[in-house]
Structure 1
Amino acid sequence: MVKEKEVIGVDLGGTAIKFGRFLVDGTCLESFSVATPQPATPEDVINAIALTVNRINQNKNIVALGIGMPGATDVKGRIAKVAINLSGWHDVPLADELEKKTGLKTILCNDANCAGLGEAWLGAGKNYQNLILLTIGTGVGGAVILHGKLFIGHNGAGGELGLVTFNPHGHPCNSGNTGSFEQHASATAIYRDTGKKPSEWGELAKKNDPSALKFWEDYGKIIGTGLATYIYIFTPEAILIGGGVSASAEYFLPSAWEEVEKRVLPSSREGLKLMVAKLGNDAGMVGAAKLAWELIQ
């Protein structure tokens, strides 16, 4: 009996590395996580991934490996150019090293882009060919799917939705920009500006606290204003909101949509859906597996 082919999707994070085995139809056969080595040097992380993959692959028919990276990769998905929250990562030939140690074809991609691929494959975006995923947490990331394919620009760094200028006179951003969307929409910005975490505002909103409901209404206007830029450029069929702040989406999506309607011509938003992402913290792992399948198909 011929064993069915499988791939492994890996989501590399600063504290944990998530692994999942997937069939070509998206069925997840197994998923688990291991602790990220500390310090998370390239050598130690490569060894940890390879050791785990080789253990998983005993008596299996695994054919490829996809890796979601917390940082930029080259356009071919071979080199980890930089990795946020990991130690000493700069132009690491991660795909080459893992291929040597596992014997599996390997491809890398930014973790937010992987999350977008995951949502497009198995999540809230699976019925759409053109969509945007906006992940709102400590920072603001995102992914753009056009005609069913991930958009990464000519050198792999496209789709940095959180770094687009929102207010030219706003707070400085780690990117070197001033007043980026991230500086107005992220959980970090919410805490900086209000002294409360999004989860605290969410709990208050559940109790119908007037100040919290007003906060989320105003926050929705910020989100809608930012989305208007993306809509005019990409005219997506759907926009998905993910990340930790999306837990309170019911309180800010209505005003976000009202803002979109004010700012975007009907012709550019015809049929547009604004929804919450579905896969949560598994989105990056799922998208990494999708990358692996695309690599060998």
Structure 2
Amino acid sequence: MQKKSSVIGLDLGGTAIKLGRFLEDGTCLNSLTVATPQPATPKAVLGTMITAIRELNQDQDCLALGVGTPGPVDGTGRIAKVAINLSGWQDVPLADWLEEATGLPTTIANDANCAGLGEAWLGAGKSFKNLILLTLGTGVGGAIILNGHLFTGHLGAAGELGLITLNFDGPPCNSGNQGSLEQYASIQAIRRMTGKEPAELGQLAQKGNREALEFWEGYGRLLGAGLASLIYVLTPEAVIIGGGVSGSTTFFFPATLEEIERRVLLSSRQDLQLLTAKLGNQAGMIGAAKLAWELVVSQRLNFSSN
């Protein structure tokens, strides 16, 4: 009998589901992208996932599944509590459903957490054991990697780095907070502050436009102030910035670093690296596969100890 040797990572998005089959060393054997069914009800998404998993696992060598979902997950990594931009997702036992349908052990996590794990495994963070990732997109997602492992806290909800308070009296946030980092660093915040898209501001800065360059400098300082709080709490070796806004890091990283150096004691930031994410929109799928491998390893350890 052929030894099983791969896992499948899935990244569930509002428009597409990305899947990849990975060896334990991170080699991607094959990948697949399928359209997310519309409306994206839990059962419809489940059916699409099962079909895609079977297509990807024709060699029957998959050991486990990892899934990144767009929203919070419970502390056991089994229930999608809410899935943003998907229809009717409330406390969906996705891991149970997939295990029943495929016979494969399954674990799930928030998509930003998966992106952070992916960057830590195969991307910009692979040289570090302790790091944080911020995804600067429509919102601001986050992930915390401590000692090489994803940290999600006892409820599974840790790592909402974009929701920390930056300005006590700032704009209201969907979370119920006011003046969260997300209200200053997200694409929506940039649109609100400038009336322009981040990509447009990046192009203007590239051409030497003074207003665009000044905007990015101010943006970098705001981001640095937010990161300062996170650095004091977590003292990471690296801060990795991903998401759509990361295309302009050339223009705001200098101000971000300057602000961090101004606000954070050297003892809390010594040798800190500020880096741009490398894996793009593959990070979530890769991180989900890493989660699956961690599940396999933990099951091996449990088996050997019994």
Do both share a fold (TM > 0.5)?
Answer: yes
Residues 40-55 of structure 1 aligned to structure 2 (within 5 Å): 40-55=40-55
Residues 149-168 of structure 1 aligned to structure 2 (within 5 Å): 149-168=149-168
Q: Distance in 2 between matches of 1:52 and 1:217?
A: 44
Q: Look up the equivalent residue of 1:154 and give its one-letter code.
A: H
- Give yes or no for the alignment of 1:76 onto 2:66: no
- Deviations 1:224-258, CA, capped at 9 Å, x for gaps: 00000000000000000000000000000000000
Partner of 1:190: 190
Q: Distance in 2 between matches of 1:99 and 1:154?
A: 23
Aligned to 2:281, the other structure's residue is in SS state helix
Q: Look up the equivalent residue of 1:133 and give its one-letter code.
A: L
Aligned to 1:157, the other structure's residue is in SS state coil
Partner of 2:11: 11
The structural deviation recorded for 1:105 is 0.7
Partner of 2:294: 294
- Give yes or no for the alignment of 1:285 onto 2:285: yes
Structure 1: runs of 5 or more not aligned: none
Partner of 1:216: 216
Q: Look up the equivalent residue of 1:253 and give its one-letter code.
A: F
The structural deviation recorded for 1:164 is 0.6
Deviating 4+ runs (over 6 angstroms) = none
CA contact (8 A) 1:168 1:179 kept: yes
Q: Distance in 2 between matches of 1:59 and 1:211?
A: 56
Q: Distance in 2 between matches of 1:239 and 1:228?
A: 11
Residues 236-255 of structure 1 aligned to structure 2 (within 5 Å): 236-255=236-255
Q: Distance in 2 between matches of 1:254 and 1:147?
A: 28
The structural deviation recorded for 1:3 is 4.7
Partner of 1:228: 228
CA contact (8 A) 1:224 1:257 kept: yes
The two structures have a TM-score, normalised by structure 2, of 0.96
Q: Look up the equivalent residue of 1:148 and give its one-letter code.
A: G
Partner of 1:172: 172
Aligned to 1:76, the other structure's residue is in SS state coil
Q: Distance in 2 between matches of 1:33 and 1:2?
A: 27
Q: Distance in 2 between matches of 1:206 and 1:3?
A: 52
Q: Look up the equivalent residue of 1:197 and give its one-letter code.
A: E
The two structures have a TM-score, normalised by structure 1, of 0.98
Aligned to 2:68, the other structure's residue is in SS state strand
Q: Look up the equivalent residue of 1:191 and give its one-letter code.
A: R
Q: Look up the equivalent residue of 1:23 and give its one-letter code.
A: L
Q: Look up the equivalent residue of 1:69 and give its one-letter code.
A: T
Aligned to 1:125, the other structure's residue is in SS state coil
CA contact (8 A) 2:30 2:56 kept: no
Structure 2: runs of 5 or more not aligned: 298-306
The structural deviation recorded for 1:51 is 1.2
The structural deviation recorded for 1:2 is 3.4
CA contact (8 A) 1:3 1:60 kept: no
CA contact (8 A) 1:224 1:259 kept: yes
Aligned pairs, number: 297
The structural deviation recorded for 1:30 is 1.1
CA contact (8 A) 2:16 2:33 kept: yes
Q: Look up the equivalent residue of 1:137 and give its one-letter code.
A: G
Aligned to 1:205, the other structure's residue is in SS state helix
